[in-house]
Amino acid sequence: MPQTFFKDFTRADGLPVTVEYQMEDETCACILSIWPNTEGYNRLVAERRELETSGPYGRRLHVVAMDPEVRERLIELDRLIEDLDETARLPEGDIERMERWLSENHVHSSDIEF
């Protein structure tokens, strides 16, 4: 199973993003997803996670068992997070350029001396 890596970048427009990628054949990076790396975005994601796991022992509550206010807030959070995810998306040419950069600059664990 391929290992997943994360790298933080600042886009040309100044938006900080986190890129999740895998190395294919040890030489070619493949971007899996990109999302904003801002305090506001991270706060929304943390709130959603907290609401989703508000069941006994930190387990997820089934949507039917949720308080209606919690359910509505989760819907609102999902919409806000989706909107912010959309702002972090890159055009195909930028994705290819970023994958090329990741491929050229990725440090393999076998290259690290302990």
CB 32 within 8 A of CB 21: yes
Task: Give the mean pLDDT of 67-73.
Answer: 88
pLDDT of residue 56: 65
CB 98 within 8 A of CB 20: no
Is residue 1's pLDDT more than 90? Answer: no
CA gap 79, 92 in Å, rounded: 24
pLDDT of residue 36: 97
Within 8 A by CB and 6+ apart from 1, the residues are none
pLDDT of residue 59: 72
Give the ranges where the chain is alpha helix by DSSP (H): 39-52, 68-88, 92-105
Within 8 A by CB and 6+ apart from 78, the residues are 48
Q: Is 25 left (phi over 0), alpha (psi -120 to 50) or beta?
A: left
Domain residue spans in the chain?
A: 4-111
